[in-house]
Amino acid sequence: MSAVEDRLAELGLSVPEVARPVASYVPAVRSGDHVFTSGQLPMRAGELMVTGKVGGEVDEEEAVACAQQCALNAIAAVKAEVGDLDSVKRIVKVVVFVASVPDFTGQPQVANGASELLGRAFGEAGVHARSAVGVPVLPLDSPVEVEILVEV
């Protein structure tokens, strides 16, 4: 087990199996020293944790947990591509999409679910640039979707 996986285990978490894509794409692609993940939904055991819009059917706390699960799924996609998570030099960029009601403005706080997990898992290498974007709808009515770019 990698040091990254050890740190996740200390948090009571583990790297899941790679989530099956919901359309025609692959979970991650390596290009040179970088791995780009596809957008990861908050899937657990093949099902979305929750559906709906943040600030509507989904509260902020649930959305933060969804962002964390999305980040775990992104880590799984990276691991499937590179094998050993300790080969990750840096989490370069994180993009978090939050399907939210029009007056919800807490997208950055929701995105912290992903960012804080990546920071705990990868330490200094987990410090990254980020975008948190509010959108009207996401695939399968997911409240959150996360993609990451890592350097290996």
Distance CA 9, CA 109 (A): 24
Buried b (16+ CB within 10 A) or exposed e, 42-51: bbeeeebbbe
29 phi and psi, to 5 degrees? -135, 135
Q: Which of 47, 105, 94, 100 is nearest to 71 (CA)?
A: 94
pLDDT at residue 21 in the model: 86
What is the CATH classification number for the domain harbouring 48? 3.30.1330.40
pLDDT tier at 49 (50, 70, 90 boundaries)? very high
The single residue listed with the structure tokens 């590179």 is: 82
**Domains held by the chain: number:** 1
pLDDT one-digit tens code per residue, 1-25: 799 999 999 999 999 999 788 889 9
Residue ranges making up the domain that contains 43: 3-151
